[in-house]
Amino acid sequence: MGITIPANVHSAGSDDFSFSFAYTVNGDGSWTSEVIGVETGTIKTGPRAGQTFTISRSNSPTSTGIISNNGSTLTLATLDPAVEIVTFSNGDVHKRICHRSRVFIKLSNDN
């Protein structure tokens, strides 16, 4: 028995997710990345806690960014928004338009 969540209710939550990707490092210190396949995850907190989800993208955009001189920081952003289709384990399907940016920071000297 699942929780029914009205479509017009907004809330916050957190999740664990994973996806496969391919990347290219360019000679000018930039890099590009593309998601391969679908993203999968489990919602940890909020009204959907315990549900799983998949995210598929139509025309998944390439992300691009810059690598710091010492390689400890990476930036990454999509140049164009994309339509994502989120399918939840209770059968709900939501479409959303997403534009992403991320910063990756190496926290230790461990390899």
Model pLDDT for residues 61-104, shown as the tens digit of each residue: 889 999 999 999 999 999 888 899 999 999 999 998 989 999 99
> How far is the C-alpha of 67 from the C-alpha of 86, rounded, in Å?
30
Q: Which amino acid is at 91?
A: G
Residue 1 has pLDDT above 60, yes or no: no
Decide: 62 and 69 in contact? Cβ < 8 Å. no
Question: Is the sign of the CA dihedral 18, 20, 26, 32 positive or negative?
Answer: negative
> How far is the C-alpha of 86 from the C-alpha of 70, rounded, in Å?
37
Cβ count within 10 A of residue 102: 12
Assign 68 to helix, strand or coil: coil
- Chain centroid offset of residue 75 CA: 14
How confident is residue 110, by pLDDT bands cut at 50, 70 and 90? Answer: low
Task: Give the pLDDT confidence of 2-17 residue by residue, as tens digits.
Answer: 556 555 567 889 999 9
